[in-house]
């Protein structure tokens, strides 16, 4: 599945000087050169840098200082822009290829501690039972307060077969507890598949890495052979999928589409618009399709869900998605690492931005929590809950997060069961009660 793309070449010029006069040249070239206020601030930065270098109580690590300054500039823009040094950039490249060392966990930083976004399927983190919204307050007994997210990630990584202990806060009313794991080679199998109820093809994408498109095509072909082409339909499970590569999201959407727009991306200026359309036939031959989403479905997952929903190609079941509607471009900085910069917003085929709002399910089905999780926070706050997030360009009320819990036991998975029932021709309605109503299981009626 090949998509027509334009590769943009972006550059960054960083000028250094020994004195405090000028240490960096701001982005924008000519604009910055005529902006006196900008130069005043650059001179101020130089004054502070020079004073720290000469008068700090200990000799500072100047490279670390500069990296922190650059990262601070980028992270002040929005929650998804950041600087990566050489090692972090190399780690990211390995990760997108689908194989890396560590625990297999997507994390972010919140309130000075590490917060679990989602463990990857089949990894030490998933096997140890880590959950979305778990807070990691210590790594091998040492507090994470005061260190950066990248430093925390480095501490969790290590040689294969070596142990690591994470101290977790899951319920703020209860004491933290330790989780011991053994580091492993993390091979992210992007796509998994199975036959459900004898005639439903189930497709699970855990992350949109470089393997997602090819893995999807292979899985569909294998399911088709197993069921002899007599499948009732397909389920695409994007729950707790934190996203990944834009081109992979486009290609996976194209798998299920004959034609039509998949997504458009728009930059700062009105003429910075790119549209991506389906380029080949539907590999499932138009069979009915259900897409499962929840509060942990973000970014690339939302591109796929939004495209298939707008094009009337799929029915969306689950709960509201995360609401990350921005595109980050990785810009290499020569031999000095790279920066991840938010350069565009993406829009679904109907022209809606899901930034800080998310994709709403066509049929809202919430999972019942097991007794041990009742009263605990298993819902994401969503993009709207992140400090400094970009506003939705259309304005309006921002969407909150939703539950990110998925039972490991498929027989207890209400969202999956609802999808199977729907594809079997049953009418499935929400199990979320209106105010004043009593909770109920999904209601199923023959069409």
Q: Which two tokens stand for residue 43?
A: 């001179």
Could you give the CA distance from residue 320 to residue 238 in angstroms, rounded to a whole number? 12
β partners of residue 186: 100
- Per DSSP, the residues of 18-70 read SSSS-S---TTTHHHHT-HHHHHHHHHHHHHHHHHHHHSSS---HHHHHHHHH
What SS3 class is residue 149? helix
Catalytic one of 324, 353, 357, 402:
324
Token couple for 51: 């004073």
CB 240 within 8 A of CB 378: no
Instruction: Please answer whether residues 289 and 302 qualify as being in contact, where contact means their C-beta atoms are separated by less than 8 angstroms.
Output: no
Q: b/e map of 344-376 (b: 16 or more CB within 10 Å)?
A: bbbbbbeebbbbbbbbbbbbbbbbeeeeeeeeb
Is residue 90 within 8 A of residue 75, CB to CB? The reply is no
Helix residue ranges, H only, 312-369 = none
User: Partners of 135 in the beta sheet?
Assistant: 115, 169
CA angle (149, 124, 386) in 5-degree steps: 35
Q: Rounded to 10 degrees, what is the CA torsion of 36, 42, 45, 51? A: -90
The Cα 254–Cα 261 span in angstroms is 9
Q: Which of 81, 118, 299, 379 is catalytic?
A: 299
Q: CB–CB of 4/26 below 8 Å?
A: no
Enumerate the β-bridge partners of residue 233.
Answer: 200
Q: Residue 170 and residue 71: Cα distance in Å, rounded? A: 29
Which position among 310, 353, 357, 417 bears the catalytic label?
A: 310
- Could you write out the DSSP letters of every residue in 57-95? SS---HHHHHHHHHHHHHHTT-TT-EEE-HHHHHHHHHH
Annotated active-site residue 310? The verdict is yes
What residues are annotated to the active site?
299, 310, 324
């Amino acid at each position: 599945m090949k998509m027509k793309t334009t590769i943009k070449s972006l550059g960054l010029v960083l000028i250094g000087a020994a004195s405090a006069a000028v240490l960096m040249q701001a982005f924008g070239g000519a604009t910055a050169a005529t902006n006196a206020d900008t130069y005043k601030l650059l001179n101020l930065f130089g004054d502070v840098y020079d004073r720290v270098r000469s008068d700090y109580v200990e000799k500072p690590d100047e490279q670390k200082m500069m990296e922190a300054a650059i990262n601070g500039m980028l992270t002040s823009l929005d929650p998804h822009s950041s600087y990566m040094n050489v090692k972090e950039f190399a780690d990211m490249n390995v990760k997108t290829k689908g194989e890396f060392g560590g625990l297999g966990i997507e994390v972010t930083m919140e309130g000075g501690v590490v917060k679990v976004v989602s463990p990857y399927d089949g990894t030490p983190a998933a096997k140890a039972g880590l959950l979305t919204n778990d807070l990691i307050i210590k790594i091998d007994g040492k507090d994470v307060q005061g260190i950066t997210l990248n430093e925390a990630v480095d501490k969790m990584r290590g040689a294969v077969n070596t142990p690591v202990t994470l101290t977790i806060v899951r319920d703020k009313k209860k004491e933290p507890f330790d989780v011991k794991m053994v580091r492993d080679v993390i091979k992210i199998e992007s796509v998994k598949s199975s036959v459900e109820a004898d005639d439903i093809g189930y497709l699970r994408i855990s992350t949109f890495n470089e393997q997602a498109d090819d893995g999807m095509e292979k899985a569909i072909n294998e399911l088709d052979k197993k069921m002899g082409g007599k499948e009732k339909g397909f389920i695409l499970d994007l729950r707790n999928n934190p996203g990944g590569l834009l081109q992979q999201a486009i290609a996976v959407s194209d798998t299920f589409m004959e034609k039509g727009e998949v997504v458009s991306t728009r930059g700062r200026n009105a003429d910075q618009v790119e549209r991506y359309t389906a380029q080949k036939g539907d590999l499932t031959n138009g069979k009915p399709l259900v897409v499962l989403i929840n509060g942990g479905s973000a970014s690339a997952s939302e591109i796929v869900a939004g495209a298939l929903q707008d094009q009337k190609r799929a029915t969306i079941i689950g709960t509201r998605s995360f609401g990350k509607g921005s595109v980050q471009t990785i810009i290499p900085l020569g031999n000095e690492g790279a920066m991840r910069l938010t350069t565009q917003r993406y829009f679904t085929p109907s022209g809606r931005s899901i930034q800080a709002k998310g994709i709403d399910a066509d049929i809202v089905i919430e999972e019942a929590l097991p007794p041990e999780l009742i009263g605990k926070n298993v819902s994401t706050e969503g993009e709207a809950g992140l400090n400094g997030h970009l506003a939705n360009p259309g304005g309006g009320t921002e969407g909150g997060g939703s539950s990110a819990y998925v039972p490991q036991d498929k027989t207890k998975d209400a969202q999956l069961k609802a999808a199977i029932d729907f594809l079997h021709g049953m009418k499935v309605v929400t199990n979320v009660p209106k105010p004043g109503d009593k909770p109920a299981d999904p209601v199923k009626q023959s069409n």
